[in-house]
Chains A and B, each alone.
Chain A
């Protein structure tokens, strides 16, 4: 079974630029999560999708971050414009069902550096 795929793996941009990350979850997984992991911290949930609907985006900075999962499969996360404090690893994860009892499978992450 293929794992969660993410691209790009690394990205360096200047502040005020925009950037987009892509995630393809494990086949058949209905739930997709985007996390932000700042160095030395645990993953922080940004947004959670169930199929193509948003379950939780309460911690997504909506003035600059947006995400979509149009066909209920792959997803993109965008930052526009980026700030220095957005430097982090952006992790995508998926689970078969919805709920905190589900095992989450993480992708390799995208390491973003904002200069």
Chain B
């Protein structure tokens, strides 16, 4: 069945280092969304990408949608302790009615 895969599962960085998480789909996606879940919290929407090759920035976060619309990445420049959490990508199911979430990448940051 349709899958959304994320790597790495865990990443630990020193504060100030960069971080990247990758998302891959077994099928072409019409769009991809990214969510962040703080420890003990709930997922919070970050961004949606729709166009092939699209790049969007939110302060230190850069989101990219692959040319083939089957992969995406989230890059954080100069991580801060406030970036701690699990980052999920999510793509549409086959019917286009709902999202399939990846397993997430959990980021920890030490100061």
Contact = CB atoms under 8 A, between A and B. Distances in A.
A and B found bound together: yes
Given A42-B104, A100-B30, A100-B92, A106 B99 contact: no
* Most B Cβ at <10 Å: residue of A42, A43, A91: A42
Contacts of B45: 103-105
Contact of B31 (A93, A100, A107): A100
A65 B75 CA distance: 39
Given A91-B43, A106-B42, A100 B97 contact: yes
Contacts of A56: 93, 95, 97-98
Contacts of A24: none
B85 interface: no
Contacts of B4: 42
Contacts of B41: 108
Nearest to B32: A100
B30 A101 contact: yes
B41 to A, nearest CB: 8
Interface in A76-115: 91, 93, 98-101, 103-109
Contact of B98 (A48, A103, A108): A48
B51 interface: no
Given A100-B30, A100-B92, A103-B48, A45 B98 contact: yes
Contacts of A104: 33, 43, 45, 99
Interface residues of A, number: 23
A12 interface: no
Contact of A99 (B90, B97, B100, B102): B97
* Most A Cβ at <10 Å: residue of B96, B97, B100, B104: B97
B63 interface: no
Interface of B: 4, 30-31, 33, 41-45, 48, 50, 88, 90-93, 95-104
Given A33-B98, A42-B88, A104-B99, 19 more contacts: A41-B103, A41-B104, A42-B4, A43-B43, A43-B88, A43-B101, A45-B99, A45-B100, A48-B97, A48-B98, A56-B93, A56-B98, A93-B43, A100-B97, A101-B30, A101-B48, A103-B48, A104-B33, A109-B42
